[in-house]
A and B are shown apart, each in its own frame.
Chain A
């Protein structure tokens, strides 16, 4: 291979990965798809606009940070911990689903998505929001506005957003400690 590359290691969904030789300039989404075969994070725009490709970076200081993998280099994540859509639900050793997260559960029960292409990004964005609210709860009156702002960049072409946002509201209101007062 004539393309400059270097080894990288990281932790994906709790499991150590690497060291793997990865081209210096490869984007994280390509790495997830074509090196790790984790294809749940979706290619939508390739320019960081639609947020279908986001994953969670678990930063020791910042906590959960939503990252757009289509415009972020794979090597940025070297030695870091990330959660992809495949790592949200609890799975058994074979990889079968044991339990969904409350966010995933709410999405399916609200019939939140249709084609589902954007769903991994919405799960990711919502999970980050929930974890943020756990640290800094909001007033009940601010819930809708907060959802709008947190999920604003996420594009969905099928649903018109209503059932997604309603599901997110339901999770926030039913999870103790996210709403103050």
Chain B
């Protein structure tokens, strides 16, 4: 998610200069603002009793919406912001959303919060950057946003300013008005009467709270999500966010129950979550109720073919060199036959990373390694070392080919 936003904004910065120029005319033509999805009812503040009642639900929704991933910097105070998104033109910082009156949202009204979350417009009519996934949160229900608001207001106020964005173009925020005209849906979430309540709940969790598309849906030149390629996977900072359409997930070896389990556990036969998805598990999906995780999985897997089973046979001719490297530096943990070590090292036989269409993520992991990661229920993975300094590029390529052909279902090279 962090990577995604960084990337998104990177291109955005470049693209915006053009957009702003071209849109000068449009600005004149469209001297109106985007339609709000927020009702007038929010102008009425919530009573303390109403607020208090919303807190438990708000806590859950705040987790489901993964606010902490961006608004809590590593090692930083909860919801105090400060996580930086380094972009080619400057650094954007996540804001302090703790209820501190000076630096946080302590002075925000219920309506302020609703407009920020769902219209992308903060108090004082300041436009948010879409690093804040308000395009997705726009689909959240008014009641859910109220609950998040109520919960955040119970957090410890952190009297700490977020670092100032170092954007060279202060008027870029204004430009977001035009970006919103192109990319912001006019309506919030609409229940699909043709689908079961569970599937609707799943779609709500995926699209609104989980904002999965922000990473998994590719973006166009304006950095808007391309509706026609919904959840088909995208490449962000050199890492593939996989295709999570039903077919894509089946290709990775998931069915609905295993996907639901995977989202709460962060690991399974498909391997361990890596890169930004690990943070999503760590801060968000691990806290989902089983019912919600199942609803998400049911929605995502609708109409999926049966999960792909890769038949493991003999070493594919042409990958013997890769096999030698595997035995030398991988098999100690992942097993000679790719079965892994329970609770210690993931299996290769069923590993989703090997099944991805490209070897991008695999090469990255083999080269740079992975940090130590903890998962729910006491599961913990030691760091995986990188091998870029021990294997030549060709050896890494051969190793990837061996892994992908043996257990990923790909033809060698």
Contacts and interface: CB of A to CB of B under 8 A. Distances in A.
A49 B382 contact: yes
Contacts, number: 41
Contacts of A68: 332
A65 B329 contact: no
Interface in B285-344: 324, 327-329, 331-333, 336, 341, 344
Nearest to A75: B328
Interface string A38-76: 000000000111000000010100100100101111011
A129 B147 CA distance: 52
Contact of B328 (A47, A48, A72, A153): A72
A47 B345 contact: yes
B333 A72 contact: no
B390 interface: yes
Nearest to B323: A24
Most chain-A CB neighbours within 10 Å: which of B328, B344, B383? Answer: B328
Contact of A70 (B332, B345, B390): B332
A1 B387 CA distance: 32
B333 A71 contact: yes
A75 B389 CA distance: 17
Contact of B324 (A57, A62, A75): A75
Given A47-B333, A48-B382, A62-B389, A76 B341 contact: no
A47 B344 CA distance: 8
| Chain B: interface size category | 10 to 19
Interface string B351-391: 00000000000000000000000000000001100000110
Nearest to B391: A76
A71 B327 CA distance: 10
Contacts of A24: 327
Given A24-B327, A47-B341, A47-B345, A72 B389 contact: no
Given A47-B382, A48-B382, A49-B382, A76 B329 contact: yes
A27 interface: yes
A176 to B, nearest CB: 27
Nearest to A49: B382
Contact of A73 (B331, B382, B383): B331
A68 B331 CA distance: 13
A62 B387 CA distance: 12
Contact of A27 (B332, B344, B345, B389): B332
Interface in B374-411: 382-383, 389-390
A48 B327 contact: no
B251 to A, nearest CB: 30
Interface string B103-126: 000000000000000000000000
A25 interface: yes
B356 to A, nearest CB: 25
A75 B382 contact: no
Contact of A72 (B329, B345, B382, B383): B329
Most chain-B CB neighbours within 10 Å: which of A47, A73, A75? Answer: A73
Nearest to A77: B328
A68 B328 CA distance: 11
Most chain-A CB neighbours within 10 Å: which of B331, B332, B345, B390? Answer: B332
A73 B390 CA distance: 13
Given A47-B344, A47-B345, A62-B389, A25 B327 contact: yes
Contacts of A49: 382
A80 B336 CA distance: 23
A71 B345 CA distance: 12
A68 B390 CA distance: 13
A147 B120 CA distance: 46
Contacts of B327: 24-25, 73, 75
Interface of B: 324, 327-329, 331-333, 336, 341, 344-345, 382-383, 389-390
Given A47-B332, A57-B390, A59-B389, 17 more contacts: A25-B331, A27-B332, A47-B333, A47-B344, A47-B345, A47-B382, A48-B333, A48-B382, A49-B382, A59-B390, A62-B389, A65-B389, A71-B329, A71-B332, A72-B329, A73-B327, A73-B329
